Structure 1
Amino acid sequence: MSRDRHAHGATPPTPSDRLLAWLEPADVLLVEGNSNISTAIKYLTQSTWSHAALYVGQHGSGLFADSTHCFVEADLLKGVRSVGIQAFSGMPTRICRPVGLNEEERRAVTGFAIARLGHRYDLRNVVDLARYLLPTPPVPIQLRRRMIAFGSGDPTRAICSTLIAQAFQSVNYPVLPTVEYRAAATKECPGCTSEIMHIRHHSLFVPRDFDVSPYFRIIKPTIEGNFDFRTLRWERATALLAPDDRTSEDQR
């Protein structure tokens, strides 16, 4: 089920060196995987993104002293582990950045994930995903997230998005909470309402939640620098035409 399969990504991969240049500790890296499990996750979540990893950066000595161990992820076969940027080479990715965290809070988020290195992957989630993969059934949208949440409940087990969601919840940072609006009318503001946030259980989070969350900024390394479209080199325009159009163009 974890076997890679050929797939065309919706977006081109970002070079590894460019990704590293713009990543900051506590950034979430979303990945468009190409395994059978990735296909199941993308189907159930109706999203491009099938995996998430937390960037913890390079600091101190030991395991996280260089770029070969700068992410924490939950892997199907090896459990919660540290990996380098090379693990995502050639894959479409997206950087999601939490806004407003101070240095201490960033360390708390990354420290939460690092402390769980060695925990096991929740294989019960994989069994449930596999059950619905072949053949792929017409599953109502409201039930798909629940399918991924059929975990064992063992605190020493995790899946990628669960681990990261718990890390942010440890500092009360919102990912995609359930919002309740309550009437809070006063004489000064008769139509006022108050916004009450309810924490979503961590087992219900999926990679796409970091993409659609209003509390994470999308960082695009290609345009974060001194991007100038005028410097791009283009192939001749006819190469982009459909075959029939190219024939017509050549006959003119």
Structure 2
Amino acid sequence: MGLALGWLGERLARFLSRSTHVHGIGPATRPDRLLASLQPGDVLLVEGNSRVSTAIKYLTQSTWSHAALYVGTHLASAGGDSGHCFIEADIVDGVRSVGMDEFAGAHTRICRPVGLTELDCRRLTAFAISRLGNQYDLRNVIDLARYLLPTPPVPLRFRRRLLALGSGDPTRAICSTLIAQAFQSIRYPILPITDTRNADRPDCPGCIEEILRVRHHSLFAPRDFDVSPYFQIIKPGIELGFDHRTLRWDDTPLVETSSVS
């Protein structure tokens, strides 16, 4: 049964990884500008154009269907490909390193963790780099494939948990869980479960303190890095300097057409 599921999962992975048309509302950031804005530890969210991206975007109600961790030159220092600077979990190839060309033409967003030290960044990237070669959780692919129907009968409250229906094998990963595990390894919060309790302080009997509990890594989706209060959104067009006075406008009047009934 395991071999049969593995064979089916691999076939589905190749089918679901095929590209489909995605209508964009604006131009994608140029790769050189994107690269100039990145720092090790940044999470790059991607609006994918594959069939499996459709399922992930539906289940998470988000634009973002893929996430990659920018490790910069840390990969080359660890003996990896000097032309690569990202670690990602690919549906076909598993956990791999890729270069900036992999995301050329795609709509992206940079999410930057706040307050990391150089040691934190090295521990974070080392965790991801050590997972190179691990396989994608193909059972998760089978689960996602069931929700590619035009109107899947999935109540909103259950959609997130559908992303966690994979095997749970620690040697396997999907894109967002791999990165979530990396941040949890250095105890950096993404969307922790928060409990409040009375602070045991004689000088402040009414004070409330927050206690964080780790959310299971299999329940994270790419959008969580976008909405997390602990990640800063970096926009290359602003980060590299923006002056609206330098913009060139075409003042040719637009001719609107209307139909006459």
TM-score (norm 1): 0.91
**Pair 1:52-2:54 in alignment:** no
Unmatched runs of 5 consecutive residues or more in structure 1: 246-252
Distance 1:22 1:191, change over 3 A: same
Computed over aligned residues only, the root mean square deviation of the Cα atoms, in angstroms, reads 1.8
Q: Could you tell me which of 205, 210, 214 is aligned with 2:225?
A: 210
2:238 is aligned with what amino acid?
I
**Pair 1:143-2:158 in alignment:** yes
**Pair 1:74-2:96 in alignment:** no
Structure 1 window deviating more from structure 2 (197-206 vs 174-183): it is 174-183
Q: For 2:181 and 2:72, locate their aligned partners in 1 and report how far apart those are by CA, in whole Å.
A: 19
Q: CA deviation at 1:242?
A: 4.5
Contact 1:58 1:64 survives alignment (8 Å): no
In structure 2, the partner of 1:24 is: 39
Q: CA deviation at 1:2?
A: 1.4
Q: For 1:187 and 1:112, locate their aligned partners in 2 and report how far apart those are by CA, in whole Å.
A: 41
1:243 is aligned with what amino acid?
T
Distance 1:71 1:15, change over 3 A: same
Which SS does the other structure have where 1:132 is aligned?
Answer: coil
In structure 1, the partner of 2:168 is: 153
Q: CA deviation at 1:47?
A: 0.4
Matches within 5 A, 1:76-225: 76-184=91-199, 188-225=203-240
Q: CA deviation at 1:161?
A: 0.2
Q: For 2:20 and 2:230, locate their aligned partners in 1 and report how far apart those are by CA, in whole Å.
A: 33
Q: CA deviation at 1:10?
A: 4.3
Q: Could you tell me which of 70, 80, 87 is aligned with 1:63?
A: 80
Aligned length: 242
**Pair 1:41-2:56 in alignment:** yes
Q: For 1:148 and 1:4, locate their aligned partners in 2 and report how far apart those are by CA, in whole Å.
A: 21
1:117 is aligned with what amino acid?
L
Contact 2:37 2:240 survives alignment (8 Å): no
**Pair 1:243-2:257 in alignment:** yes
Q: For 1:238 and 1:84, locate their aligned partners in 2 and report how far apart those are by CA, in whole Å.
A: 42
For residues 159-209 of structure 1, give each alpha carbon's deviation from its aligned partner in whole angstroms, at most 9, with x where no partner exists.
Answer: 000000000000000011011111237554343211010100000000000
TM-score (norm 2): 0.88
Which SS does the other structure have where 2:132 is aligned?
Answer: coil
Q: For 2:123 and 2:140, locate their aligned partners in 1 and report how far apart those are by CA, in whole Å.
A: 27
Q: CA deviation at 1:6?
A: 0.5
Distance 1:126 1:23, change over 3 A: same
Contact 1:128 1:147 survives alignment (8 Å): yes
Q: For 1:201 and 1:238, locate their aligned partners in 2 and report how far apart those are by CA, in whole Å.
A: 55
- Percent of aligned positions that are identical: 67
Q: For 1:237 and 1:127, locate their aligned partners in 2 and report how far apart those are by CA, in whole Å.
A: 52
1:55 is aligned with what amino acid?
Y
Distance 1:106 1:123, change over 3 A: same
1:193 is aligned with what amino acid?
I
